[in-house]
Amino acid sequence: MAHITRKIGLSLGADICWPICYEALLKRLDLKLSIGGDTVSFESSRVQIEPFDLRAPCKYDVVIDRLTHWYHTSREWIKKEILVNDLYVFNNPWSLQSMEKQTTYAAMIRLGFPVPDTWMIPPKRYQESNDLQPTLTRYAKLFDLGSVGDQIGYPLYMKPYDGGAWVGVTGIHNRQELLNAYESSGTRVMNLQKGVDPHDAFVRCIGLGPQFRFVNYDPGAPLHDRYRMDYDFLPPEQAQQLVDMTMVINAFFGWDFNSCEALRQDGRWHPIDFANACPDSQVTSLHFHFPWLIKANLRWSIFCAATDRAMKTNLDWGEYFAIADSDRSFDEKLAGYVKLARQRFDVDAFEEFCATHLPQLDEVAHEFFATDTVRDAIREKVTALYPDHEIDRFCELFWNRVQESRQVEGPAS
């Protein structure tokens, strides 16, 4: 019998609070799991940004990545480690690099998801380049934007095809507003998407491996109030449909950690934004939902490390397209997609692993989130974001919401 230490790396940017809590709770668990005749323990450390030899070995078994989407050195290090050393990473970095919102809309339309009508339009202005003018002169024909808007119907939304964090998103109610928004859009390439109007729910479904959390979402509220503190608020059938759709999206693109925004109209979910594979993980926005995120992150990363999970770089889209091109109903197709997604995430093995090796996590976490370590992590994050005169107020607000989450979910959620 050997003693094996699995090493989990945290590849971080401006993250403050969740790594502190992740690291402290992992230490508090002090796991020594009996797996395959070996005793397996775990430790975590933060990935440093430095020069690297393409032939160098990797000291990590799993990396939780928060930089691939924007920091090139870390992105290329992660890709190298997957190719050379079989590292497992949250999320597939090639997919994350190339699958912007436009691509995800197109893919899920192919699978039959009820994505609202969506168009892409050329940018209002262009960055100058050597071949720009010949290309535009030959091929960029004048078009009637107002007619496009009329065909889609109002209200609609103009949003960058590759954007995030609601940057550049404009709600549009008529032709003149569309023309005005386009005039101001600069060099951004934009999607126009029909609004789901009316709708009676706006939910963000966060998926981390085969674990899901529903959040009532209010994009018009201040950042600290966008994630509402509702709990267990969806009917079971609608909750399952949203889980299924989110799991399929994440499996299709090879994303371990992603969120899907959907609007409900007449009892049906319409996904409107589901390329969010670096979801907000800070207590200053998640607050009530923050403990769930830390526990879900621990469960999935420990499972992946303990089982030496292989990185599946092949996205296997053909299997999905074969179902999509059949004459089945959408519900029947979705069931087929879910079967593929469950296989990709090894759902049965994950659930058995958690029941066998992590039954104490909820209880240990329940105690942990009442400690000064958590209170101090909240203060450190709040201090980084808020002016001095608001620090005490928001520290108390977020601390109280974390405590409310503990009370609602209890020690064995």
pLDDT band at residue 69 under the 50/70/90 scheme: confident
pLDDT band at residue 98 under the 50/70/90 scheme: confident
C-alpha distances out from residue 285 to 81, 226, 370, Å:
32, 7, 19
Cis before 210 (ω within 30): no
HSE, CB side, 13 Å, CA atoms: give it for residue 58.
23
With 0-12 / 13-18 / 19 or more C-beta atoms within 10 angstroms meaning exposed / middle / buried, residue 172 is buried
DSSP-assigned states of every residue in 67-124: STTT-HHHHHHHHHHHHHH--EEES-HHHHHH--HHHHHHHHHHTT--PPPEEEE--S
* Average of per-residue pLDDT values in the chain: 95
Q: What are phi and psi of 82, to 5 degrees?
A: -65, -45
For residue 107, pLDDT over 60 is answered with yes
> What amino acid is encoded at 61 in this protein?
D
Position 339 scores a pLDDT of: 98
Answer for the pair 365, 294: CB distance below 8 angstroms, yes or no: yes
* Partners of residue 65 on adjacent β-strands: 11
Structure tokens, 338: 């879910």
Percentage above 90 pLDDT, the chain: 88
Mean pLDDT of 217-242: 94
DSSP-assigned states of every residue in 167-225: TT-EEE-SHHHHHHHHHT-TT--EEEEE---S-SEEEEEEEETTEEEEEEB-TTS-GGG
Answer for the pair 116, 194: CB distance below 8 angstroms, yes or no: yes
* Partners of residue 259 on adjacent β-strands: 206
Answer for the pair 155, 172: CB distance below 8 angstroms, yes or no: yes
Position 219 scores a pLDDT of: 86
For residue 167, pLDDT over 80 is answered with no
Q: What angle do CA 73, 13, 260 make, to 5 degrees?
A: 100
For residue 73, pLDDT over 60 is answered with yes
First to last CA, the chain: 34
Mean pLDDT of 353-378: 98
For residue 413, pLDDT over 60 is answered with no
How far apart (Å, rounded) are the C-alpha atoms in residues 203 and 390?
Answer: 29
pLDDT band at residue 100 under the 50/70/90 scheme: confident
Position 164 scores a pLDDT of: 67
Residues 6+ apart with CB under 8 A from 133: none
**Number of alpha helices (DSSP H) and beta strands (DSSP E) in the chain:** 16, 13
For residue 158, pLDDT over 70 is answered with yes
Q: Quick check: helix, strand or coil at residue 38?
A: strand
Query: Which domains are assigned to the chain?
Result: 3-98 (3.40.50), 117-194 (3.30.1490.20), 201-409 (no CATH)
Position 410 scores a pLDDT of: 87
How far apart (Å, rounded) are the C-alpha atoms in residues 86 and 53?
Answer: 16
Span 286-296, pLDDT tens digits = 999 999 999 99
Mean pLDDT of 156-181: 88
How far apart (Å, rounded) are the C-alpha atoms in residues 270 and 410?
Answer: 32
For residue 260, pLDDT over 60 is answered with yes
Span 280-321, pLDDT tens digits = 999 999 999 999 999 999 999 999 999 999 999 999 899 999
